[in-house]
Amino acid sequence: MGDNKRKPDIRFQGFTDDWEQRKVTELGEIYIGLVTTMTSHYTDHGALLIRNSDIKDGRFEFGDKPIYLDDEFAKQNASRKHKVGDVITVHTGDIGTSAVITEKEAGSIGFATIVTRPDKEKITSEYLCAYLNTDTHKNFAMNISTGDGRNNYNLKDYYECVVPVPSIAEQRKISSFIDELNNLITLQQRKYDKLVNVKKSMLEKMFPREGAKVPEIRFEGFTDDWEQRKLGECFTERKDSMPEGELISVTIGEGIKKFSELGRHDNSNDDKSKYKKVCVGDIAYNSMRMWQGASGYSPYEGIVSPAYTVLSPITDVVDSKCISYLFKRSDMTHVFQMNSQGITSDNWNLKYPALSEIEIMVSPYLAEQHKIAAYLSRIDNLITLQQRKLEKLKNIKKSMLEKMFV
């Protein structure tokens, strides 16, 4: 692991000494968390249990309901309780990922986790954790680990890990810088999550709930009840064939995108004579995945596989972008699921004839539909912007982790 380099590509001013290469076994005490079944000792108080799934890059995430071990069982395993500064590493799952025990997690016990208690004269906990979270270490862990369909980073494998070690002062500089990056990433992630939650809330409140005739939140100037309409009164099925054009894909997560936007290229020699035309304003959907959210408003012209269904809006009735947001609501996807035909979820299908009979609530004002679509579109744009900022910060961190270590 590693090479003969003695100095990193990027370094803080004032540090010139060569780095040392030290086996992790030289840098502190190492042991593995409990591996016996403990479910009978689970409780809602006592010693916190740390599982592999709770360990993230430089932090812990326990969810809304952390698991605790009863006091008696915890006393029997007191020698395995974590102390502040212990570095906890994933043994199974996202192997190599590590975090440092703080005051909040002190006294906890790990389940099948690798624990390193650093020798503070040789290495700081934060620096060791930062190195263990690098791709260099994770790739080493992945390559050396074994498992039947699942990777296990065993102690004997971890013992082979070689850590590049600068002076304690330089270690602190590096880990402090990475902590700052992690804090920026966390703040950006919160902004992103908040916007996603705002959108989810507004999707619920800007369309009428089941049984209601008006939405909970409404733009000023619109007062009349919404109308119940069949989707067949709002859209016709576009069946035009077009053998050439920009290829479009309909996914669950991305909605409708050009292949080029998804980083994919159509290298097939398939006969595209039956490919369907998609126009600006159409909604295209995957008839086998509509119930999972595989639909989207098209902002451009293109072609889609014959497996997709293309809906052309009746423009004096609906704003198709507005309805495309309605299609993403959980209650709506449930309706699509109930109307899909097939024996199992693997072959459920929602073709246009069945979809056309589904009823939705539609504002009688096209202007109101336009406003809803524009508002939700602005939130989408903000989400995309925050996502790009988040990805940029993660890429900066990834690059720095590669260049700040030997």
Same domain, residue pair 273 and 137? no
Q: What CATH number corresponds to the domain at position 47?
A: 3.90.220.20
How many angstroms separate the CA atoms of 221 and 368, rounded? 9
Domain edge (last residue) among 132, 149, 165: 165
The rounded Cα 287 to chain-centroid distance in angstroms is: 25
Domain tally, the chain: 3
The answer to whether position 191 is within a domain reads: yes
pLDDT at 148: 55
How many angstroms separate the CA atoms of 250 and 304, rounded? 8
Same domain, residue pair 293 and 404? no
How many angstroms separate the CA atoms of 291 and 365, rounded? 28
Which pLDDT tens digit goes with each residue over 73-132? 999 999 999 999 999 999 998 999 999 999 999 999 999 999 999 999 999 999 999 999
pLDDT at 2: 45
Q: What is the pTM of this model?
A: 0.81
The answer to whether position 12 is within a domain reads: no
pLDDT at 207: 97
Task: Report the first-to-last Cα separation within the chain, whole angstroms.
Answer: 11
Same domain, residue pair 160 and 24? yes
Domain edge (last residue) among 165, 186, 209: 165
pLDDT at 4: 53
Same domain, residue pair 341 and 382? no
The answer to whether position 6 is within a domain reads: no
Residues of the chain predicted below pLDDT 70: 1-5, 146-150, 262-269
pLDDT at 131: 96
Same domain, residue pair 30 and 125? yes
CB 5 within 8 A of CB 78: no
Same domain, residue pair 28 and 141? yes
Side chain identity, residue 105 = E
Q: Where does residue 109 rank: exposed (0-12), middle (13-18), buried (19+ CB within 10 A)?
A: buried
Same domain, residue pair 318 and 183? no
| Residues spanned by the domain of 344 | 227-362
The answer to whether position 289 is within a domain reads: yes
The answer to whether position 7 is within a domain reads: no
SS3 205: helix
Same domain, residue pair 180 and 52? no
